[in-house]
Structure 1
Amino acid sequence: MAMFHPIDLGELFDFTLKVAIAFVLATAIGAERQYRQRSAGLRTNVLVAVGAASFVSLGMHLNGQAGASQIAAYVVSGIGFLGAGVIMKEGSHVWGLNTAATLWCSAAVGALCGVNLAAEAGVLTVAILAGNTLLRPLVNRINRTPMDEQSAEATYEVHVLTQAEHVGEVRDLLAEQLESASYPVREIEVSERSEDVTELAATLVSTAVHPEEMDAVVAALEASPLISHASWSSSTAD
């Protein structure tokens, strides 16, 4: 039994062409990401695309269109693990979602090349580049627009500082004050600022608030002798 099948020059050329197209298109995507110093840059996007093209091409070679469909399904789910590696979360702030989405789209470009849909892969590449470049001024303009806390969907947090020995009492007081103002608490995170100072951050269930009401809650909290400082903040990073 032969270890390798005889080389079919036609199939080899077809495979090389698929990988080459995926390589060129992903280079355009990756170059834009590299220019903006993203964690997944030129090489990562190229490797994702040519890998997807190779796997889908392998599936088609082994089992025709059915094999390509099966492999493509695994590529879609498998790229999620790679994308998760570039997403970082700190409190209510999340970074890397756009980079992960770009990697996911690069895999789609490669998969399209793997099933001989080079024109469609080119259209998707243009759409990815447009999303990452042409939409940027619009995003920046929206981000600079003052947010109306009464209508915007955002993540709201109330922060208080206290001494370590009063954490339990302050936690109850924080929850009580917010509940009485009809702002239920989703969770309260406790973190040590120093040996003597502990911060409690209460994340609200609400996605919209009245600033005056939140200011009143903060003022009531600061009136407590157990709390040295209180404040509230909003974020739309999610």
Structure 2
Amino acid sequence: MEPVGILTKLILAVLVGGVIGAEREYRSKLAGFRTLIMICLGSTLFTIFSRFIASPTEVSRVASNVVVGIGFVGAGVIFKGDNNRVNGITTAATIWVTAALGVGIGAGYYVISFLGCAFVLLTHIGFPYLEGLIDKANRGRTYKIVFPYPEFDEQSFDKIFKEYHLKAKEGYQSKKGAWIVGEWLVYGRQKNHDRFIQHILQESRIEQFDF
């Protein structure tokens, strides 16, 4: 392999990783500009080195080990946030696909790698709008309500959810002094959530309402 060809691959790896990383950096994600450049460049280097140090039958094995190794990096950006929500999965997937693009560049599949880069950008830039429409149609929200018993009970709130065309998929209640603390994960249209929130805010017997 000629030095010029190797240099070209390294430059392309920096460009592809940089473009994807710049978009992630703009959105203040954990894996940003420099991180994704290093991931794409590293994957390209591993693929190039495999052409020199491995036999023809072992080249694919080196690439497969890149996939396994990058999984540890991706796992490092996944964490549990507020309300027990898991965050960082999209960033981890971006790390994974950026490594795949680096392998493609190292193997000389430039067109496929650039097309893959374009689709990654389309997913990150264009799809959030579509995701927002889906979220409005069926949005999940967690409600924590502290209410007096027996004036209210679990069935009371189930009826109110149904009244506003909302569906509670998970819930639990616990007793705290003279009050019952209830928490529900509720799905439905955004406008129905808004109507439900206004209903609860106007209920003077509710001690606490987190939404």
What is the TM-score when the length of structure 1 is the normalising length?
0.62
What is the TM-score when the length of structure 2 is the normalising length?
0.69
Q: Could you tell me how far apart the structure 1 residues matched to 2:95 and 2:137 are? A: 29
Contact 1:60 1:68 in 2 (8 A): yes
> What whole-Å deviation, never above 9, does each CA across 1:142-173 have from its counterpart, x for those lacking one?
222244xxxxxx7x989798xxxxxxxxxxxx
Sequence identity percentage: 26
> What whole-Å deviation, never above 9, does each CA across 1:212-233 have from its counterpart, x for those lacking one?
696xx87xx57x6856232222
The answer for the alignment partner of 1:170 in structure 2 is none
> What whole-Å deviation, never above 9, does each CA across 1:41-82 have from its counterpart, x for those lacking one?
111010000000000111122235433311111111111110
RMSD, aligned α-carbons: 3.1
Q: Which amino acid aligns with 1:228?
A: W
Q: Secondary structure at the match of 1:71?
A: helix
TM alignment of 1:1-238, pairs within 5 A: 11-63=2-54, 65-90=56-81, 92-147=84-139, 211=161, 228-234=179-185
Q: Which amino acid aligns with 1:128?
A: V
Closer/same/farther in 2, CA of residues 110 and 33 from structure 1, 3 Å limit: same
Q: Could you tell me how far apart the structure 2 residues matched to 1:232 and 1:68 are? A: 53
Q: Which amino acid aligns with 2:26?
A: Y
Q: Could you tell me how far apart the structure 2 residues matched to 1:143 and 1:33 are? A: 22
Closer/same/farther in 2, CA of residues 225 and 129 from structure 1, 3 Å limit: closer
Q: Secondary structure at the match of 2:28?
A: coil
Q: Secondary structure at the match of 2:29?
A: coil
Corresponding pairs, count: 170
Q: Which amino acid aligns with 1:26?
A: G
Closer/same/farther in 2, CA of residues 160 and 226 from structure 1, 3 Å limit: farther
Q: Which amino acid aligns with 1:23?
A: V
Contact 2:17 2:98 in 1 (8 A): yes
Contact 2:143 2:186 in 1 (8 A): no
Q: Which amino acid aligns with 1:51?
A: G
> What whole-Å deviation, never above 9, does each CA across 1:84-139 have from its counterpart, x for those lacking one?
11111135301111111111111011000111111110011011001111101011
Q: Could you tell me how far apart the structure 1 residues matched to 2:88 and 2:117 are? A: 20
Q: Could you tell me how far apart the structure 1 residues matched to 2:44 and 2:176 are? A: 64
Q: Could you tell me how far apart the structure 1 residues matched to 2:186 and 2:39 are? A: 32
Q: Secondary structure at the match of 2:31?
A: coil
Q: Which amino acid aligns with 2:108?
A: N
Unaligned runs of 5+ in 2: 147-152, 188-211
Contact 1:31 1:42 in 2 (8 A): yes
Q: Secondary structure at the match of 1:81?
A: helix
Closer/same/farther in 2, CA of residues 234 and 63 from structure 1, 3 Å limit: same
Unaligned runs of 5+ in 1: 1-9, 148-153, 162-176, 182-209
Q: Secondary structure at the match of 1:38?
A: coil
Q: Could you tell me how far apart the structure 2 residues matched to 1:128 and 1:111 are? A: 16
Contact 1:48 1:107 in 2 (8 A): yes
